[in-house]
């Protein structure tokens, strides 16, 4: 099948599946904690290539954008010249404060971007449809696609890095919510009367267990944490995980992020002990907490998943007549 033919077939195919071709890819773009990265992700989740640029902290918004744009342009060029693949869409992920679809982003890691119009800028640059989502929700998609929750219709993913965030897959679908923040677990109160959070309340998971919180509590980088801090962090994440399992009828929690993965078995053992203590409903008893399995590829596979999800949804919208759409269809 030629490239053109495969693209036409996919565009006309009824939802929910986009017809898969080995030459179709999504250009995956992630705004990370320390660098921007772009890669090519196939419909099977293989990462064919990637390019990275460090995020400079003390430069203006356009300098940051130029660094990101170079990685995107490089990947577009290599897609054609080196890999001979067809780029079907751009999947974009970021953390921090974002508007739905990442029309505007204010990532913690890029202080110069305050409501920066990233989706539009990348659409203009690439000429592709850009589908954006929060990085923790993208990790949930990726872990369900190829990682520790592969094939599981019900689980939540939590990232514990500089901040704490999460995403929920329920009945096989990623939950979005009113503003796109469903699963934002960072503001669960895990320590009533505890440390003041940026959100204004006290004892939020993010204010107690994030990398930034650990630095503030101990005066040292999270990578130099004591056994006690690793255990406490696991315990606190276990509390929030138990509430998720009890509320959403889940039996699996996948945890990624540099802090959690760096703390390793001490963190995960403590989290599991607390989860066992607090998830005691007949449906939540026995819930497991387990490390993300995608490692360094997680963010780009996640951004790729966001791009493929966007394509599937767009195809579904094209094949559904407005009159037959249920009231909640998007
Ligand atoms: Zn908070």
**SS3 sequence, the chain?**
CCHHHHHHHHHHCCCCCCCCCCCEEEEEEEECCCEEEEEEEECCCCEEEEEEEECCCCCCHHHHHHHHHHHHHHHHHHHHHCCCCEEEEEEEEECCEECHHHCCEECCCCCCCCCECHHHHHHHHHCCCEEEEEHHHHHHHHHHHHCCCCCCCCEEEEEECCCEEEEEEECCEECCCCCCCCCCHHHCECCCCCCECCCCCECEHHHHHCHHHHHHHHCCCHHHCCHHHHHHHHHHHHHHHHHHHHHHCCCEEEEECHHHHHHHHHHHHHHHHHHHHHCCCCCCCCCEEEECCCHHHHHHHHHHHHHHHHHHHHHHHHHCCHHHCCCCCC
pLDDT band at 12 (very low <50, low <70, confident <90, very high): very low
Using the mean position of ligand 1's atoms as its centre, give its distance from the Cα of residue 119 in Å.
Answer: 27
Share the mean pLDDT of the chain.
91
pLDDT tens sequence across 226-285: 999 999 999 999 999 999 999 999 999 999 998 999 999 999 999 999 999 999 999 999
Using the mean position of ligand 1's atoms as its centre, give its distance from the Cα of residue 325 in Å.
Answer: 37
Is it the case that residue 224 has pLDDT exceeding 60?
yes
Using the mean position of ligand 1's atoms as its centre, give its distance from the Cα of residue 109 in Å.
Answer: 18
Global confidence as pTM = 0.87
Using the mean position of ligand 1's atoms as its centre, give its distance from the Cα of residue 197 in Å.
Answer: 5
Is it the case that residue 21 has pLDDT exceeding 60?
no
Q: Using alpha carbons only, how large is the chain's radius of gyration in Å?
A: 20
- The pLDDT of 102-120, averaged and rounded, is 95
pLDDT tens sequence across 41-55: 999 999 999 999 999
Q: What is the pLDDT of residue 2?
A: 38
Tell me if 109 sits within 8 A of 299, measured CB to CB. Answer: no
User: Chain centroid to CA 208: how far?
Assistant: 21
CATH number, domain 3-134+297-318: 3.30.420.40
Domain 148-293 bears CATH identifier 3.30.420.40:
yes
Using the mean position of ligand 1's atoms as its centre, give its distance from the Cα of residue 285 in Å.
Answer: 28
Is it the case that residue 10 has pLDDT exceeding 50?
no
| pLDDT > 70: percent of the chain | 90
Using the mean position of ligand 1's atoms as its centre, give its distance from the Cα of residue 207 in Å.
Answer: 6
Using the mean position of ligand 1's atoms as its centre, give its distance from the Cα of residue 196 in Å.
Answer: 8
Tell me if 143 sits within 8 A of 293, measured CB to CB. Answer: yes
Using the mean position of ligand 1's atoms as its centre, give its distance from the Cα of residue 188 in Å.
Answer: 7
pLDDT tens sequence across 145-187: 999 999 999 999 999 998 899 999 999 999 999 999 999 999 9
Using the mean position of ligand 1's atoms as its centre, give its distance from the Cα of residue 298 in Å.
Answer: 25
pLDDT tens sequence across 301-329: 999 999 999 999 999 998 886 655 565 55
CATH 3.30.420.40 positions along the chain are: 3-134+297-318, 148-293
Neighbours of ion ligand 1 (CB under 5 A): 187, 197, 199, 204
Using the mean position of ligand 1's atoms as its centre, give its distance from the Cα of residue 140 in Å.
Answer: 21
Using the mean position of ligand 1's atoms as its centre, give its distance from the Cα of residue 201 in Å.
Answer: 6
């Amino acid at each position: 099948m030629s490239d053109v033919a495969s693209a036409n077939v996919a565009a006309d195919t009824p939802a929910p599946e986009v017809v898969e071709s080995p030459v179709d890819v999504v250009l995956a773009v992630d705004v990370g904690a320390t660098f921007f990265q772009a890669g090519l992700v196939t419909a099977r989740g293989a990462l064919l290539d990637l390019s990275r640029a460090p995020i400079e902290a003390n430069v203006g918004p356009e300098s940051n954008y130029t660094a990101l744009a170079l990685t995107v342009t490089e990947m577009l060029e290599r897609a054609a010249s080196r890999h001979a693949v067809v780029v079907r869409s751009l999947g974009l992920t970021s953390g921090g404060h974002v508007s739905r679809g990442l029309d505007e982003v204010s990532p913690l890691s890029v202080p110069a971007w305050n409501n920066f119009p990233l989706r539009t800028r990348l659409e203009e640059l690439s000429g592709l449809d850009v589908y954006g989502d929060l990085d923790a929700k993208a990790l949930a998609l990726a872990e369900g696609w190829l990682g520790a929750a592969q094939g599981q219709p019900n689980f939540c993913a939590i990232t514990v890095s500089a901040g704490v965030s999460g995403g929920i897959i329920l009945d096989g679908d990623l939950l979005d919510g009113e503003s796109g923040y469903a699963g934002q677990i960072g503001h669960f109160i895990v320590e009533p009367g505890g440390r003041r959070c940026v959100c204004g309340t006290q004892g939020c998971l993010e204010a107690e267990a994030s990398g930034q919180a650990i630095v503030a509590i101990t005066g040292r980088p999270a990578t130099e944490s004591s056994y006690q801090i690793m255990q406490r962090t696991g315990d606190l994440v276990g509390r929030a995980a138990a509430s998720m399992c009890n509320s959403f009828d889940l039996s699996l929690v996948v945890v990624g992020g540099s802090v959690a993965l760096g703390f390793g078995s001490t963190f995960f053992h403590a989290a599991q002990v607390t989860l066992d203590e607090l998830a005691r409903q007949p449906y939540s008893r026995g819930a497991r907490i387990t490390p993300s399995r995608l490692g360094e590829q997680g963010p780009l596979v996640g951004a790729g998943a966001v791009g493929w999800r966007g394509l599937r949804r767009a195809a579904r919208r094209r094949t559904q007549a407005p009159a037959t759409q249920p009231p909640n269809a998007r």
